[in-house]
Structure 1
Amino acid sequence: MLPATPAFAAPTGPNDGAGVSAPLLSETSLRVATMATNLSGEEPGELYRDLLTRTDTEALRVADAISVANPDVMVLTGMDADQDAVNSFISDYLKSPDDERSDAGYPYSYLAVGSSGVQSGADLDSDRIVGGPGDAWGQRAFAEQASTVVLSKYPINQPDVVSVSTLKWDEVAGNNLGSSELSGAVAASIPVMHNGLWDIPIEYRGERVHILAAQTEPAHSSYGFGALRQKDELKVVADYIAGEDYVVADDGAKAEGLDGDRIVVTGALAQRTESTAAALALGADLGRDDALNDSGNFVIPNQGWNVLGQGRIGAEAPEDFQLLPGATPEAIETSDLIWTDIQF
């Protein structure tokens, strides 16, 4: 299996942190939000070109929600990890002077690139030809396609970001691989994470906060093993937090655990009914039975936080303080923005 392209973090504008104006930053609480998007092109650079028109329908939809919520940390799943596209989205949609939308500024971004889009070396789509998107992990055309992008008003500690994207499924303790139809070289080489798990430390009020962003097996996946894999993806998230030795990061380091740290687990965590219970159980393990979710997207702070408010922003949803039920509606590819306000 070819190595995955590493993820990277970078400021999204000229400010280095010292130049972030005070009104951008919350003084009493941290608002973390996530949203499943379709901000993706069929080839590298296509999303950037689409965004340059300043009329991209999906970008406008996402920007509208972000403008209303104005979160401190925004986790976008399903977005191409293209720095030019991210910069264009911020300048032309979130901060455009030509619209009536309230500006939302993000001096920092993390563009996650994991195992999806990396060629498997096998005929995964059974078309008798090895190569192309159908034979890549995640069935993607290139590594950055439909990945995870994190926008932050607070500095991202780039050297300490941890990526878990190449961990093989058969290396997961007590895995469900044996119950799948996979065998041989594919079973021995398939990554457990559909794309990856990223531990992104931010500096907030003098303390380190771990934003754990993940994007698990999507609802549209044609893989018959998707539900089994997703359960083990959620297990990896929990075991990374617990510091289980088998969880090895892409740089070869073993998970050290985050006991006692401030954590927020977020992203597209459960697009399948069978995995909803596992995602909710993850919230319970973190001491948070009131974890917010919508269509499989979750924001789960651990028990080190006080939850001040939660909500969902969408075309037909109230904008503020709506607690969502534990049951996940029918899975869809895009979703409303969901947010949680937390405080320590």
Structure 2
Amino acid sequence: MTSLTRRAVVASTTLTLALAGAALVPAQAAPGPTGPPDHDLRVATFNASLNRNADGELAADLSTPDNLQARNVAETIQRTRPDVVLINEFDYAPGNEDLFRDNYLAVGQNGADPVDYPYAYIAPSNTGVPSGFDLNNNGVIAGPDDAWGFGFFPGQYGMVVYSRYPIDMDAVRTFQHFRWADMPDNVLPEGWYSPAELAELPLSSKSHWDVPVDVGGKVVHVLAAHPTPPTFDGPEDRNGRRNHDEIRFWADYVGSPRQSSYIYDDEGGTGGLKPGERFVIVGDYNADPLDGDSLDGAIDQLLGHPRVNTSVTPASAGAVEQAALQGGANLTHRGDPAFDTADFADGAPGNLRVDYVLPSTSLRILDAGVFWPTSDDPLFRLVGTFPFPTSDHRLVWVDVRLPHRP
């Protein structure tokens, strides 16, 4: 796959070990006698696989404090202590965010300190919402593949944002219903969808959110999404094409006013971020810059963007170890295994970098890492090997310093 040159650090064994260790440093280190904290904000993304097979199952699991997977997810977050975290694959239902916060995050897990998130944002997802159309063209209008986003029930594979800092709820923008056909120069599969389908088909397989967080009077826009995997289709590559344009949406949103002029949100507001606004793009984007099945250059729309800071690439020693132990497709990969964020040991693509925390260039990156301990680390039990005790994805975090201007 062709890829734009990445402005990324090349991880040596020493660096990856240092980063893996840094993942255990609390997000808000205590200030020294005369100096400021070592960073201002830790932002993380975690596809935690807190999705269930039926509506209501996640709420049932979270209603008591003894679900082992949920405890592992909470402990992973407690060990890394992000100030703001996006959780992907968290089934949507009002109240699920409170159940997980109260019964798991606020309860110390296996000796880890509880973590307090007074603020959270959750909203509907396109997943599992019946379209009324035969979107996969198999002659039957039924099932998860004919929903606006793949899912067996509305809200499956949703997402939630937790924050230590206030979220400006009145200023949140969602783009759940933005139509794919309304993106100029899109890569829709020619002839696959009918005119009636194109008149309603949303771009986002889940949703795209702009969640403004107020950090000491400085607003940081948390841009959250979870584009569809670029697989599970046919020669038309409808999912690969949708994945490409879901990623492109943020590239245009943080670009120039001209680039973002076509965008409209679910309340009718138009345009993207204003020049100079601070942002962090987060989520499982299901696209590796060098390997896997995504369209050529899909994630490079962000990694090569002039407003995106890629001066440090999150890495881990655990990813390097597992790529070597598992072999297979990993041996043919062109990307550095230190940068992998997902363990697809049971699949042909091998382990990939698909989860991202990408700050704006107005935010200086101080440190970054992937929570992927090596097998000799006591915390390896939280990641494990297939079948995974928590998720096939790893939490990714980045520390940024906000400028002192207002």
Which amino acid letter does the alignment assign opposite residue 278 of structure 1? A
CA shift, 1:138, in A, is 1.5
1:274 aligns with 2:294: yes
1:100 aligns with 2:111: yes
Give structure 1 stretches of 5+ with no counterpart.
Answer: 1-22, 320-332
Picking from 304, 312, 337, the partner of 2:362 is 304
Structure 1 contact 67–94 (Cα < 8 Å) conserved: yes
CA shift, 1:303, in A, is 0.4
SS in 2 for 1:177: coil
Aligned pairs for 1:308-323 within 5 A: 308-316=366-374
Moved more, 121-130 or 205-214: 121-130
Distance change in 2, residues 1:203/1:63 (3 Å): same
Structure 1 contact 265–300 (Cα < 8 Å) conserved: yes
1:240 aligns with 2:253: yes
CA shift digits 1:16-40 (9 cap, x unpaired) = xxxxxxx996754100000112112
1:189 aligns with 2:200: yes
Please provide the CA RMSD for this pair. 2.6
Distance change in 2, residues 1:219/1:96 (3 Å): farther
1:289 corresponds in structure 2 to 310
Distance 1:260 1:298 in 2: 21
Seq. identity, % = 29
1:229 corresponds in structure 2 to 242
Give structure 2 stretches of 5+ with no counterpart.
Answer: 1-25, 30-36, 315-338, 342-352, 378-390
Moved more, 78-87 or 178-187: 178-187
CA shift digits 1:308-334 (9 cap, x unpaired) = 100111353899xxxxxxxxxxxxx73
CA shift digits 1:1-28 (9 cap, x unpaired) = xxxxxxxxxxxxxxxxxxxxxx996754
Distance change in 2, residues 1:84/1:256 (3 Å): closer
Aligned pairs for 1:94-133 within 5 A: 94-96=105-107, 99-125=110-136, 128-133=139-144
1:340 aligns with 2:361: no
1:263 aligns with 2:279: yes
TM-score (norm 2): 0.69
Higher strand share: 1
Picking from 176, 184, 207, the partner of 1:173 is 184
CA shift, 1:219, in A, is 5.4
CA shift, 1:268, in A, is 1.1
Distance 1:304 1:126 in 2: 45
CA shift, 1:275, in A, is 4.6
CA shift, 1:46, in A, is 1.2
CA shift digits 1:133-182 (9 cap, x unpaired) = 33211121333221111000000000000001111111111111144733
Distance change in 2, residues 1:314/1:46 (3 Å): same
CA shift, 1:202, in A, is 0.6
1:254 corresponds in structure 2 to 270
Distance 1:207 1:233 in 2: 28
Count of residue pairs brought into register by the alignment: 309
Structure 1 contact 288–303 (Cα < 8 Å) conserved: yes
* Higher alpha-carbon Rg: 2
